[in-house]
Amino acid sequence: MAVENLTVVVEFILLGFSEVPNLQGFLFGIFLLIYLSILIGNGLLIFIIKMDQSLQTPMYFFLGNFSFLEICYTSVTLPRMLSDLWTQKRTISFLDCAVQFCFLYILAGAECLLLAVMAYDRYVAICKPLYYPLIMNHKVCVQLVVASWMTGVPLMIEQTYQTFCLNFCGPNKLNHFFCDVAPILELVCGDTYKTEVSVQFAAFVFILTPLLLILTSYVKIINTILKLPSTSGRTKAFSTCSSHLMVVGLFYGCAGIVYLQPKSSYSRGSLKVFSLFYATVTPMFNPLVYSLRNKDVIAVLKKLLHK
């Protein structure tokens, strides 16, 4: 009986920026600055919220948790990317790839859900102001944050198991910066239809569903704001919501392009660019958006710097 030779994949090679070998040092410096900016910006925002009593409100409680999520999310991918740029090694073990994949999607799902929770908080604050302290009490806020963190855990663990139990028997070069689902499925030997359907279902649950909830909340918010009698009241209400809307637009715009469009319609280059944008650039801009457009945060920061 003839024995068939089988190649079992035990590690992957992340190609990343391998097509520009002369720019590795420059790119390392750029992404190191981006990572430090994310850590410092989001960390400073958390510190400001914790230190000042005037910011102990549900809106800033959710914002602090969102900033912590951003730090965790980028720490799953950026340190590995920086290591690859510095050492030029680019290899990642099969297990490490699966762990990165799992945590990446758990945290991304949590971000989507927390953005929906933040939109609901703004809806209650503007549309039901008299009931706001009763509805958004501390216990409810903690429960909403815990639900955002934990809801995606079982589904993403199942998604990871389903993906990495497929048959990898040939090439092991991932044309990406981290272990993402699309480039991984390209290396599978066999039918991936069920896994692709599962990925689309997860995208629907954690991208489309929260986005629909956010849009519904803001339709009601805008309708309520337009009915306010004073111009100053409308301006203040719009200012409160604009920062969140900008973050939602950045995050969901890039995530939707990467995960919701049909497989046949995207190019590998554009996928890498949009993945890199929402995984690194968006978390860097979020603290700037929330701080520079928020008078309360600026006032507290000035007070702390004065002290």
Give the whole-angstrom CA distance, residue 112 versus residue 240: 19
Which CATH architecture best describes the domain 11-306?
Up-down Bundle (1.20)
Task: Give the chain's end-to-end CA distance (angstroms, integer).
Answer: 82
Distance of alpha carbon 305 from alpha carbon 291, whole angstroms? 15
CB 275 within 8 A of CB 78: no
Cβ contact 231:134 at 8 Å:
no
In the chain, which residue ranges form alpha helices assigned H by DSSP? 24-51, 58-87, 94-127, 132-135, 138-150, 152-164, 181-185, 193-203, 209-226, 231-259, 268-276, 282-292, 295-306
Measured CA to CA, the distance from residue 202 to residue 259 in angstroms comes to 10
pLDDT in 10s for each residue of the chain, 307 residues: 344 444 567 889 998 888 888 888 899 999 999 999 999 989 988 988 888 787 888 988 998 999 999 999 999 999 999 998 898 888 999 999 999 999 999 999 999 999 999 999 999 988 898 999 999 999 999 999 999 999 989 989 999 999 998 888 878 888 888 998 888 988 888 888 888 888 888 888 888 889 899 999 989 988 888 887 777 667 776 776 777 788 888 777 777 777 766 655 556 666 777 788 878 888 888 887 776 666 777 777 777 777 6
Degrees, nearest 5: CA angle 250-226-125: 65
How much is the pTM? 0.88
pLDDT at residue number 1 = 38
The pLDDT score that the predictor gives to residue 150 is: 93
pLDDT score at 36: 95
> Which residue reads 């003839």 in tokens?
2
Give the closest residue to 116 by CA, choosing from 247, 222, 260, 292: 247
Tokens 């969102």, residue located = 66
